[in-house]
Amino acid sequence: MAARIVVLGAGIVGSAMAIDLSKKFQVHVADIDPQALKRLEKLGEISTTQADLSDPDVVKSVVRDSDLVIGAVPGYMGYATLRTVIEAGKDVVDISFFAEDPFTLDELAKEQGVTAVIDCGVAPGMGNIIHGYHHLRMQMKSYQCYVGGLPTIREWPFEYKAVFSPIDVIEEYVRPARLVEGERVVLREALSDAELMYFDEVGTLEAWNSDGLRTLVRTMRVPEMKEKTLRYPGTIEYLKMLREMGFFSSDEIEVRGSKIRPLDVTAKLLFPRWKMQPGEEDLTIMKIIISGLEESKATSYQYDLYDRYDPATQTISMARTTGYTATAVANLVLAGRFERDGICPPEYVGVEEENFRFILDYLKERGVVYRVTRTAV
């Protein structure tokens, strides 16, 4: 009998993962949104449950009979949900972008004998997998990751659509970015150190510091590391204006006798404008540059990804690039090819040559292709 996978979250990426996994496994999806579940039920191969995943008892009930859990809830729910799944003793592959330190759950996961692969998207995620593979095989000096998910059509005023949880998008604009300089972890303001980069497929994009290195600052000793988000030029200026005016603040203010959070008002106004509409297309672009010594020779590797919305399956690019990374790793965990108790960032998965190649091939079969260029001096 095929393994049973429970997907927590039926959003854009969660749905794409459920559909991909249903081709091989029994898949059950839980979400509070009945409309999102109805869209999956139409496929006929996926069972669903309407459930409030903010309730730990509900989560434990939903995952009780699963062989593996896929975590695809918004970041603000991610840590608590992951902890609940681990307490339930279930292996999990998670893509939620939560602010808390995942390693505070490491001891619990080991006690429960749980493999918990976290941050398993595109970046963080595939970038970490690539990092882990090369870190074992060369003396890395530098790691640079540039990544962005963008609408294909640039529409004023935002020239942006939220291709994953919008509240997590706003986190990128306020959460300080951790970089590594001279082997020391340093903090930079989000949206800082702007630079322009040219890409053949889309032209010039704007890059700024974001907190995408995540676990790499702890697990990998590399002298220089940075991650930057890519957007269409001009984005930084209006985002900084909104941030400096307090529109992204969680501190309550009083308006006509009522206490409100500016962030909630901003979300109410922005999210409908940022929402991907049916048929709207997006793209994902990523460039990873790794340099160091390989067999005592100065060597660099460059990984380039350019992916677009798939009209055949009506799957947006960010769901493909994020979701299929996670489903590839899910296959490895279920096959017993990645077995490591505790909190496992994606760089741990990328260490083994066979697993690394499997993930690249899995993505390629689904049209997500990383072009690799090696340069040696």
Determine the structural domain holding residue 172 and report its residue range.
Answer: 126-308
Q: Kind and range of the H or E element at 357? A: helix 353-365
Q: Which pLDDT value is given to residue 373?
A: 98
- Give a yes or no: residue 75 inside a domain: yes
**Same structural domain, 224 and 114:** no
Residues 300 and 229 in one domain: yes
Residue 160: CATH number of its domain: 3.30.360.10
The tens-digit pLDDT sequence of the chain (377 residues) is: 789 999 999 999 999 999 999 999 999 999 999 999 998 988 778 999 999 999 999 999 999 999 999 999 999 999 999 999 999 999 999 999 898 999 999 999 999 999 999 999 999 999 999 999 999 999 999 999 999 999 999 988 889 988 666 777 888 899 999 999 999 999 999 999 999 999 999 999 999 999 999 999 999 999 999 999 999 999 999 999 999 999 999 899 999 999 999 998 998 888 888 888 878 999 999 999 999 999 999 999 999 999 999 998 889 999 999 999 999 999 999 999 999 999 999 999 999 999 999 999 999 999 999 999 999 97
Do residue 13 and residue 51 come from a single domain?
A: yes
What is the number of structural domains in the chain? Answer: 2
- Whether residues 214 and 274 share a domain: the answer is yes
Looking at the fold, whether 256 and 155 belong to one and the same domain comes out as yes
How far is residue 69's CA from residue 89's CA, in Å, rounded to a whole number?
10
Same domain, 147 and 264: yes
Give the per-residue pLDDT at 270: 87
- Together in a domain, 94 and 152: no
Whether residue 157 has a cis bond before it, omega within 30° of 0: yes
Q: Classify 116 as helix, strand or coil.
A: strand
**Same domain for 240 and 112?**
no
* CA proximity to 88, closest of 11, 8, 2, 17: 8
Judged by phi (left if over 0) then psi (alpha if -120 to 50, else beta), residue 234 lies in left
Domain identity same for 82 and 214:
no
Secondary structure (DSSP) of 6-28 = EEE--SHHHHHHHHHHTTTSEEE
Residue 104 is classified by DSSP as G
Does the residue 158 lie in any domain?
A: yes
Q: Which of 256, 289, 308 is the last residue of a domain?
A: 308
- Pair of tokens at residue 43: 């496929």
What pLDDT, on a 0 to 100 scale, did the predictor assign at position 164? 66
327 occurs within a structural domain: yes
Domain boundary among 257, 289, 308: 308
Q: Count CA atoms within 13 Å of residue 226 on its CB side.
A: 17
CATH code of residue 342: 3.40.50.720
